[in-house]
Amino acid sequence: MKNKIFRNYNKKILLFFLYFVFSLALSAQSSASKYKWYSPKEIIQNMDKLQSGDILVLSKGSSFRTMWGHAAILNEHKKIVEFPTYSIGYSESPIYTWQNLKREVAVFRLKNIDDNFKKALFHEIDETTTKPYGITFDKNFDKRLYCSQFVYIVFKKAGLKVGKNINLDSNGGGMVMPYDIMNSQLLENVIF
C-alpha cells in the first residue's frame, strides 16, 4: 500500500514538472518573436554598436541544458561575463568565443543607463568572480549563481547602490530565467 501511494505521488510530481517545463517553453517562445535576434557573427561584426553593460540572451537550444536560453553581460572591456555551467562558475571571455554557436543572440540595454550605474554594475560583477555555479529556487540567494540569476543579482545590487529599483525579473517568480529578463520593461532590445 505504501509503495502504491509513493508511486502515485511520484507520477504526480513528474506530470507537474513536465507541465511546468512545457508551459514555460511555450510562453517564452511566443515572446521571443517580438525581438531582434542576430547570429553570433553579426554580433561580432557590430561590436562597435555594443556597450559595456549590455545583456546578451542566447536563444533556446535543443538539449535540456540549453532549452532555457542563456544570459550574459558585457563588462567594461566588452568581454562576456557569465555563469555558463557547473564545472566553470564565473567566466570572462572575448566575444569572439561565441562565433561558432549555433544559436541566435538578442541584445538588451537598460533604459537610461548612465556611467554612475555602470560603475556600480562592474563593481557588483567583480564581487561575483569567486562564486560557484549553482541552481537555486530563490533568485535573491547569491552564494551560488546560474546565468540569468547572475544578471538579475548584479543589476539589482548596482541599482540599490545608485538609488534605483532595478528588478529585471518580468514575471516575479522564485527563479529568474533568461527570457524573464528579456521581457523586462526596464530593458530595450538593441537593434543595429
Q: Quick check: is 16 in a domain?
A: no
Query: H-helix or E-strand containing 118?
Result: helix 115-126
Which domain does 143 fall in, by range? 35-189
For 131-166, write each residue's pLDDT tens digit: 999 999 999 999 999 999 999 999 999 999 999 999
Instruction: Give the domain CATH number at 61.
Output: 3.90.1720.10
- In-domain check, residue 173: yes
What cell does 134 get?
549553482
Dihedral angle computed from the Cα positions of residues 40, 31, 110 and 130, in that order, rounded to the nearest 10 degrees: -60
Beta carbons within 10 angstroms of residue 128's beta carbon: 17
What whole-number distance in Å separates Cα of residue 175 and Cα of residue 172? 8
Query: 4 lies in a domain?
Result: no
pLDDT score at 35: 96
**Predicted TM-score (pTM) above 0.95:** no
State the average pLDDT for the chain.
88
In this structure, is residue 2 part of a structural domain? no
Count of domains observed in the chain: 1
Q: How many angstroms from the chain centroid is the CA of residue 153?
A: 10
Domain-embedded: residue 63 = yes
